[in-house]
Copies of this chain bind each other. A is one copy, B any other.
Amino acid sequence: MEKTTFRDVKQTVLTRIRDKTWAPDTFIPNEVALAAEFGCSRSTVNRAMRELAEEGILDRKRKAGTRVNATPVRNAKFVIPLVRDEVEATGAAYRYALVSREVLPAPPWLRARLSLGDKSRVLHLNCLHFANNAPFQFEDRWINIATVPMVEQADFSARGPNEWLLSQVPFTDVELSFSANTADAQLADFLALSPGEPVFTAERTTWLNDNPVTFARLSFGRGYRMTTRY
């Protein structure tokens, strides 16, 4: 007879939820009772339940107990890779090109988005990432010079700003958002699309303890899909 692991407990609990032994919105036995039933320690049950709660299956509250979540608002985990890795993972050759680089006062829309003062200076970069020489992603990147002073000396002709930032500048918070948009003339040009074609847009803003670090708008052309399994 093998020992009951926290994985076994998770599995058993999941099965009971699926076969409606434990119905949605009802409380399940407490940890001590389950530990006794499964023949393991409370710590083991606790870990199993904690992870299931993390996954959105269960809802736990002190004293109240553990309830089966009626609407399992399951959270999908998206792995956000580097462009280089994303391209190379498909077997395609990755190439990077810097389109433009300039230092300028932060435009109003960016000041609003990052809550910057009105005399903030930013580095603005436009970059293109290719997969097998076909444009794959257009990167519109803004970096807050006040938070990252050394960015003015950095060389972005061979390596993209994202890779540089990841290796040089830590961050504590990220906001990420996805949307569908149409390509304007400039974007269509860069991504080899016709104006008006749909583009998949990912916008990422990062902070280092309340100090805005960077804002990036990443545009992907035809056929791009962001996929996850869980």
The answer to whether A226 touches B179, judged by C-beta atoms less than 8 angstroms apart, is: yes
Name the B residues within 8 Å of A144 (CB-CB). Answer: none
The answer to whether A228 touches B197, judged by C-beta atoms less than 8 angstroms apart, is: no
The answer to whether B17 touches A177, judged by C-beta atoms less than 8 angstroms apart, is: no
How distant is the Cα of A73 from the Cα of B82 in the complex, in angstroms? Answer: 8
* Segment at the interface with B among A93-101, A132-140, A167-175, A210-218: A167-175
Q: Name the residue on B nearest A81 (C-beta).
A: B73
With contacts A179-B200, A226-B179, A229-B174 taken as known, whether A79 is within 8 angstroms of B73 at the C-beta atoms is: yes
Name the B residues within 8 Å of A75 (CB-CB). Answer: 77-80
Binary interface encoding of chain A residues 4-20 relative to chain B, with 1 for a CB under 8 A from any of its CBs, else 0? 00000000000001110
Q: Name the residue on B nearest A74 (C-beta).
A: B80
Cβ-defined partner of A80 (8 Å) among B76, B180, B201: B76
How distant is the Cα of A80 from the Cα of B72 in the complex, in angstroms? Answer: 9
With contacts A17-B170, A175-B229, A225-B179 taken as known, whether A78 is within 8 angstroms of B79 at the C-beta atoms is: no
**Which residues 162-196 of A have a CB within 8 angstroms of B?**
166-167, 170, 172-182, 196
Name the B residues within 8 Å of A174 (CB-CB). Answer: 74, 76, 229-230
